[in-house]
Amino acid sequence: MKLADTNIDHRRIQNLMVFFEGHGLVKSITKNSEDYSSSDIVSWNLGGGTNHIGIVVDRKSEDGKQNLIVHNIGVGQVVEDCLFEFRVIGHYFYK
């Protein structure tokens, strides 16, 4: 019997996006960091058919201009200044 894959990986991002579109608030995708608030959910296209997802947190970047993102891209949870590092393809709020 094959067990379910317990890893959260790029194959599930599309499912999460559909969930947030149906059960959360879809927010505008912009290039203005002020439009991304703490607890917003952001998804990106990393290229090569790989998508990724993270949560905006209430901590600011070193320059104080944008909130940081908590995400896990294979090395455990990290908090980074990476909001616009890749193309944003989803922006949501879920309560």
**Does some domain include residue 57?**
yes
Local confidence band at 62 (pLDDT 50, 70, 90 cut-offs): very high
Q: Which domain holds residue 31?
A: 10-93
Q: Are 62 and 18 in contact (CB under 8 A)?
A: no
In a domain, 54, yes or no: yes
The structural domain count of the chain equals 1
Check whether 5 has a pLDDT greater than 90: no
Q: Rounded to whole angstroms, how far apart are CA atoms 11 and 58?
A: 28
10 pLDDT exceeds 50?
no
Q: Which of 54, 53, 56, 59 is nearest to 38 (CA)?
A: 56
Within a domain: residue 2?
Answer: no
Q: Is residue 1 part of a domain?
A: no
Q: Which pLDDT band holds residue 74 (cuts at 50, 70, 90)? A: confident
Over residues 22-39, the pLDDT tens digits come to: 999 999 999 999 999 999
pTM of the model: 0.86
| Residue 4 in domain | no
